[in-house]
Amino acid sequence: MGSAPCALPWTHAQRPSVTLPELRAPDAPPAAPLSAPRPVDGIAAPIAADAAVPDHTALSIRGLRKSFDKTEVVHGISLDVPQGSFYGIVGPNGAGKTTTLSMATGLLRPDAGAALVLGHDMWVEPQRAKARLGVLADGLRTFDRLTGRELLTYVGLVRGMKADVVEERMESLLSALDLAGEDGKLVVDYSAGMTKKILLASALLHAPRLLVLDEPLEAVDPVSAQVIRTILTAYVAGGGTVVLSSHVMELVEGLCSHVAIIAGGELMADGTLDEVRQGGSLVQTFIDLVGGGDVAEGSLSWLES
């Protein structure tokens, strides 16, 4: 792995001063949740859908709901991500994490609710919201018949960046992510780790103030994972905000300053890492809230020799 520094000076731009608009009303009246969260002493209840948005909030979502085939899978989630935080969203597979983040980042239209990126409503001012946002979406197709350099050039020019700025930032990103030596290789031929890194570079290229990353380290080898962690830590230290979703509690506990637990399409708890885990481990708090999948004694006795 190359020894190029991972600090990216051009991401240290001054945070824009924004005025938060009044939240628009949901498109439909809120429905009763399908199941109530298990109460855990000391964890604050999730915020209300009509709650005011605090100052210095990078991402605010209010009352997001989504149904597929008449079955609601996200039940009015509301949360606030402070600027400058490393915010983890954890939950089991099928919890609604990807659906929630897809609605918050403009990839999936919600049935109800609102999402604001640095004060700009994603579904009212999509261009302004997306200009401040970088997204790495799990499983989203890209133009993988291009080389890494061609893909970054395309992304930069589509965003209206000047060609010389794209070239300068592309070189620093490829060096920091240890992809500079992959000239001529198509993205379709990249390994899983290389693919995650080039997609992260695409999300960072325009120097967004907010990164939303869905399972950024899934199927990534340890070396690539460490590079990505270093890049994200430097990005947050430089004033950026990261929202990272994962079902790996240990990863979130080691990286994040804030955390939200989502299960069954509902927000079970959120706050600083210490507020949520209450002096214990995040894994134990998660189990207390969501419940464990116990295996009945003797039910798999046929596996025993």
Q: Which has more confidence, 12 or 289?
A: 289
pLDDT band at 292 (very low <50, low <70, confident <90, very high): low
**Whether residue 305 has pLDDT greater than 60:** yes
- The pLDDT mean for the chain works out to 84
The model's pLDDT over 30-40, given as tens digits with 9 standing for 90+, comes to 333 333 344 45
Higher model confidence: residue 27 or residue 100? Answer: 100
What pLDDT is stored for residue 111 in this prediction?
A: 96
Tell me which residue of 257, 260, 207, 196 sits closest to 235, measured CA to CA: 207
Rounded Cα–Cα distance for residues 126 and 84 (Å)? 22
Kindly report which listed range (42-51, 185-194, 198-207, 221-230) carries the lowest average pLDDT score: 42-51
Distance of CA 103 to CAs 74, 77, 111, 181, 243, Å?
A: 10, 11, 9, 36, 14
- CB count, 10 Å around CB of 69? 5
Residue 23 pLDDT greater than 90, yes or no? no
Strand pairing class (57-68; 112-117): antiparallel
User: Residue 70: its pLDDT value, please?
Assistant: 92
Q: What pLDDT is attached to residue 302? A: 80
pLDDT computed for residue 170 by the predictor: 96
pTM over 0.85: no
Looking at residue 101, its amino acid is L
pLDDT over threshold 90, residue 84 = yes
CA–CA dist 139, 40 (Å, integer): 34
Give residue 289's pLDDT.
86
Spatial distance between the Cα atoms of 162 and 31, rounded to a whole number of angstroms = 47
Q: Would you say residue 9 has pLDDT above 70?
A: no
* Residue range 69-289 in CATH 3.20.20.70: no
Q: How wide is the angle at C-alpha 136 spanned by C-alphas 130 and 138, nearest 5°?
A: 130
Q: Which residue has the tokens 């214990």?
A: 280
Please report which confidence band the pLDDT of residue 240 belongs to, taking 50, 70 and 90 as the band edges: very high
| Residue 72 reports pLDDT greater than 90 | yes
What is the per-residue pLDDT across 189-213, written as a single tens digit (0 to 9) for each?
999 888 999 999 999 999 999 999 9
pLDDT at 183: 85
272 pLDDT higher than 60: yes
Average pLDDT, stretch 258-264?
Answer: 94
Domain residue limits, the chain: 69-289
Nearest CA-CA partner of 75 in 112, 105, 114: 112
